[in-house]
Amino acid sequence: MTSLRNLPSIEKLLNKSNDLIAAYGRPLTLDALRTTLDDIRARFKRNPELALPTIDKILSQAESRLSTWTQPTLVPVINASGVILHTNL
């Protein structure tokens, strides 16, 4: 593939990403696919000699982006301030 015109359309990618839509929902999957294609276009514009990825590669990049986006951000902690205050440490 030598041109950005050879990239698959969003509609074609959505038709092949039924598993992602079932797991993450259509709006979030659509955002991930659009962002992934934008990144691919930007990389290709910087270096036109790069080969464009296949549909499967694009879908796997979108899936990794989705898993990153939906990863929990809260971290469990131990609140020991009461122990320090009540034992006069």
pLDDT, residue 89, reads 55
- Tell me the three state secondary structure of residue 37: helix
| Residues in the chain where the model's pLDDT stays below 70 | 1-2, 83-89
Per-residue pLDDT tens digits for 35-58: 999 999 999 999 988 888 999 999
Q: Indicate left, alpha or beta for 48 from its phi (over 0: left) and psi (-120 to 50: alpha).
A: alpha
